[in-house]
Chain A
Amino acid sequence: SQKIEQNSEALNIQEGKTATLTCNYTNYSPAYLQWYRQDPGRGPVFLLLIRENEKEKRKERLKVTFDTTLKQSLFHITASQPADSATYLCALYNQGGKLIFGQGTELSVKP
């Protein structure tokens, strides 16, 4: 079955630095992969979708890469701000057509 793994340890960085989060998946080659942000006590908010034929995608301070050979996606937040502190979830549709999520990486940006 498909598995998604994200850094389980919280990531603590200083304001202004670039945060890099990792998502690895196994046993399946998805056509696209998605990243969501989740704040405590709230539902996930869609951020970016990247397709298998796209190496990189950007949206404002966010950048996502997708390496289908390594089966890995990297999520970058440049010039990070305390307001970026949240849990970031990687998700993909499995072969059964269901959206499955990684366990999320908690990011904390200190001023």
Chain B
Amino acid sequence: QTVVTQEPSFSVSPGGTVTLTCGLSSGSVSPSYYPSWYQHTPGQAPRTLIYTTNTRSSGVPDRFSASILGNKAALTITGAQADDESDYYCVLYMGGGIYVFGTGTKVTVL
């Protein structure tokens, strides 16, 4: 089964920039996987940040941006704020109506 891999954790200073990545256990991520990104704070429902590679969801600050970097999808937080401390998940469309969530990245702002 395909595994979608993310860094387990990242630490970023307030005001700093961090780039999270989303890769495949075999193969390269491309726009045809329609990568999306979610922010999930414990106790709350996940929130869409980005869908179809780089479309920012309504209400999402422009400090969140996404792209394809090399063979992975990437989410960049520019000017990190304290309330960006959360878990971040990518989701890839595998075809046939099937989605796979990434392993998730815990971002700490300190």
Answer yes or no: do A and B interact.
no
Which B positions have Cβ atoms within 8 angstroms of A? none
Which A positions have Cβ atoms within 8 angstroms of B? none
